[in-house]
Amino acid sequence: MDYTKMIANYHTHTWRCNHAYGIEKQYIENAIRAGMRILGFSDHTPYPFPKGYVGPDKMLPSQLEDYVDTVLRLRDEYRSDIEIHLGLEAEYYPRLWEGLLRLIEPYPIEYLLLGQHYIHNEYEGDRYNGKPGHGEDDLRLYCSQCKEALDTGRFLYFAHPDLINFSGDPALYDDEMTALCRFCKERGIPLEMNLLGVRQDRNYPDRRFWQIAAKEGNTLIYGTDAHWPEHVYSPEVIRKADRLLESYGIPRDRLLTTLPLSGSAC
């Protein structure tokens, strides 16, 4: 089959998160060269953590204004070449959520992506969800916390929903992820097949999850999760994702190419 021609990517990072490289112009110009029409920046949101905790993989609250100003300036500079949007990738932390909304409210953030890298509230000693060895309690909490997050109505889509590296009872995984996929379908929330995971053969995409999503009829979108300018658009990675999609039994007509942005996530 012909490979999917990506025309939009809403999952793009910047150097501020401490684990991405290059400058914003490089990401934009690579997207233009690839013929993309839409590029959304969604760097890891700052969080107003208590007790002096600093998230190691997020921008600082003091960097948010520069992030916003840079993306808006480049949006204007490249307006005749590509459509640029301003977003953030965020975890949902119940104790800190209202503080996050207050932090970002003054800025014209167009969308949020849910990327639940940790459970609880992160600073409480939580492990990264992609590390192996997560058990049954972790899985239950991951699924319930993600559903609570998506129920806020603040998120454009669910990034790498299969991130949690679970090694427990397969029947429990099936039950919990079936309920999560049904929840997303009922609310019209697309699931992201994460192309960074495809590129690097991470624990995601997780075949178990996507076979459930195939059965439940979820829609999905590719997100490059670009942390390097050259990863904004990679035909060989898209071809690999297309083959995975086919092997999971997901029809191509469930793969969305663009998403409507309602104007503000706040």
Assess whether pLDDT exceeds 90 at residue 51.
no
CA angle 56, 151, 66 (to 5 degrees): 35
Share of the chain above pLDDT 70, in %: 98
- Tokens describing residue 99: 């503080």
Cα(136)–Cα(142) distance, rounded to whole angstroms?
A: 10
> 220-266: per-residue pLDDT in tens?
999 999 999 999 999 999 999 999 999 999 999 999 999 999 644 55
pTM score, whole prediction: 0.97
**Is the predicted pLDDT of residue 61 greater than 60, yes or no?**
yes
> Amino acid letter at 177?
M
Confidence bin at 170 (pLDDT 50/70/90): very high
What is the reported pLDDT for 125? 83
Q: What pLDDT, in 10s, does the model give residues 93-143?
A: 999 999 999 999 999 999 999 999 999 999 988 899 999 999 999 999 999
Domain extents in the chain: 8-256
* pLDDT average, residue stretch 2-25: 96
**210 phi and psi, to 5 degrees?**
-75, -25
Q: What pLDDT score was predicted for residue 237?
A: 98
| DSSP β-ladder status, 111-114 and 255-256 | unpaired
Name, in order, each residue with C-beta under 8 angstroms of 251's C-beta and a sequence gap of 6 or more: none
The pLDDT value recorded for residue 264 is 46
Q: Given this model, what pLDDT does residue 263 score?
A: 47
Give the separation between CA 137 and CA 127, rounded to whole angstroms.
Answer: 13
**What pLDDT does residue 265 have?**
58
- Residue 3's pLDDT band (cuts 50, 70, 90): confident
Where does 8-256 sit in CATH, by number? 3.20.20.140
> Other CB atoms closer than 10 Å to residue 175's CB: what's the count?
15
> Is the confidence at residue 145, as pLDDT, over 90?
yes
Pairwise CA distance, residues 158 & 161, whole Å: 6
